Structure formats: structure tokens, C-alpha cells
Copies of this chain bind each other. A is one copy, B any other.
């Protein structure tokens, strides 16, 4: 056993680092170093740069145009991107619907959708949650009536992240209300330019329009945009959940947060002539978080090792979402504390705080969402209790 990377892997790391150094445009580099906050235009610009290099989809097989990296390469790639502060790409196409299309799509669907996800020509968003179907996703009501060669969709999706920038939305819709609620759900791919689709961005508590309400009024969706079997959408939803769980995601942003935390501490006076980075008790708080990061990272590395060996990741993969999001929020909290009164800052122009501190408050607020979305941590625990620990289920009734 060996925790160090092979010489080949270290070479690959150098290659990634050199590429970033060379390919990252100066205006993106400046933001990466200063605020770590990017516009959608900048994110897509970076997307296209990676696409040109063939690295936009590290986890896609080569046959679909992915980089075909192995698990260790993906880890290295993610880590280097995080250390460089590169923009995080939108996951909805690359990490969510893309892999689903590979697995469940017809050849025509693969040909139609995958290349444009890769190239960035088509940006995707996710239509899962509805006002009355959050944690209880299967109770969704957005309806798709079967009209022979097409569906007619009516209803509303909410908390659609960055829907205003998307060309396509993948949706869970109800195609049958007669049986168990999980059984009448289908998975539709909907062109957002179709008449009847209306996107209304809304502000989040982070002060940015990261969410939308998405309304469907008599929206016609051709049958060829049905992914997987009709009324079989729940299987796809569960597969996506499983896939999300095992995404390497998490360590990259966490590592970047930890680095930013330390950089910020070095620029925050402690009020007694030094900076917080010099304060032993601040250092211990930060160390405690980094030590937990190390444990979390090792869980990820172990899982990569399993994948490298061609095995399915073990059940410990399930804990990544809970541990990663909780730790991320704790890092945010300490970063806010570290900034002292500067943590009061909120979108001041010209800036009222150093660039690295500018977005911290907004991110702190918005990141409260991380323990809610993608299956709240409470729902994750429900699933783990049942699936992993085999604990009995309480049969309950509405009272």
C-alpha cells in the first residue's frame, strides 16, 4: 500500500498544472486569485477552453468524447483545478444528465445531446423539485399527457438552479396518477425555447438569482425526448442520486475554501498587532477543520482506489455528501468569524473589503443550501439507515 502517487501520476499532475498556467485567460486568473467568483460567461469560457483540450469531461469515457481519465487522474485533476481556483463547471449537463443519457439514452439521443453538452453549446438545468414536492420528490405533480407522438406538459418546477442560463431542462414529470406515486413518473428532456416554458429567476439568500421558478403551460415535448421507459423515470432519478453520491465532488471546493480561509486569516488583524493566522487559538480551530478534511479526503481516495481496481465504491461513498456539505458550512462559518466586522460586507461597489473577502458573506448564506439540495442530509440519513444499516422501517399513517 502506498499513499503517494506514481511517477506517471505526478507527471500527469505537472501536465495539468502547466495547462492551467498556460490556458487560463488573465481575466479569469485574476478573479481566481482574488475573489474566486465567476459569471456564467466566464464559466462557459473556461468550459470551452477545457473542451478544446479534451478535458471538459474528465469522467466521461473516451467513446463519448470524455477525457477517459482514470479515478486517480480525476482526483488529481480536481485537486489542481481547485488549487488554481479555476471556475467550477455547471454539473447539470456534464455530471448529471450526460451520464444518464449514456446509460439510458437511445443512440439517437446520445448523438443528439452529448456532443453539445461537451462543447458547451447547450447548457442544462434540472427540473426536479416542486413547491409541494421537495424531500418527498415522488409526490411531484407536474403533468405530461401522452398525446401519441408527443407529451403536453403542464405544471411548475421550483429551485431550478441557474435555469435562466439554460437551453435545456431535464424534468421528472407525472405521466400516470393511477398507481403508487413512484410508478407514474417519467424523465423528459425539454427544450426551454419551446412555447409555454417560462423561467422566472428569483433571488436566493446569497443575494444572487441562483434559482428560478420554471412554469410549463401546454408545452409540447416530442416523444423522442423521453429518456428511459415511460413511467420508469423514478429508476433514472434513483440512478442519478446514486451517481451524485459517488461524484468526487466535494474535495475540490473544500480544499479551495480551506486555502481561502488561511489566506484571509493572514490578512485579518487580530487587534493586537498580529494577524489571526498568528493566533494559536484561531490556528487550532482551522486545524480542526483541516484535520476533518483530511479524513474526508481519505474516504474519497479509498473510493477512487476501489474504482481504479474496477470495483464498485463501497457504502462509505454515501457519507461524502453529509460530511462534505457539513464541513463546507463549518469552513464558511469560520471564514466569516475570521473576517470580524468585514463579515458584515454585502455587495458594496466600490468594494468595502479586500477582494478575497468580497463574496464570503454571500457564499456563506447561499451555502446553507448545500445541506438541503440534492437530497437533504436528513433524507440522506433516512436512506442510509435503511439501505446501508438495514434498520427497520416504521410504517406510519397520516394522523
Contacts and interface: CB of A to CB of B under 8 A. Distances in A.
| Range class of the A interface residue count | 10 to 19
A280 to B, nearest CB: 7
Given A280-B281, A281-B281, A394-B394, 6 more contacts: A280-B280, A394-B396, A395-B396, A396-B396, A396-B397, A397-B397
A123 B396 CA distance: 45
A179 interface: no
A395 B394 contact: no
Interface in A376-394: 392-394
Contacts of A39: none
A284 interface: yes
Nearest to A284: B281
A4 interface: no
A139 to B, nearest CB: 17
A178 interface: no
The 8 closest A-B pairs by CB, nearest first: A396-B396, A395-B399, A394-B396, A395-B397, A393-B399, A392-B399, A281-B281, A395-B396
16 contacts: A280-B280, A280-B281, A281-B281, A281-B284, A392-B399, A393-B399, A394-B394, A394-B396, A394-B399, A395-B396, A395-B397, A395-B398, A395-B399, A396-B396, A396-B397, A397-B397
A396 B393 CA distance: 10
A393 B281 CA distance: 45
Nearest to A281: B281
Interface string A196-236: 00000000000000000000000000000000000000000
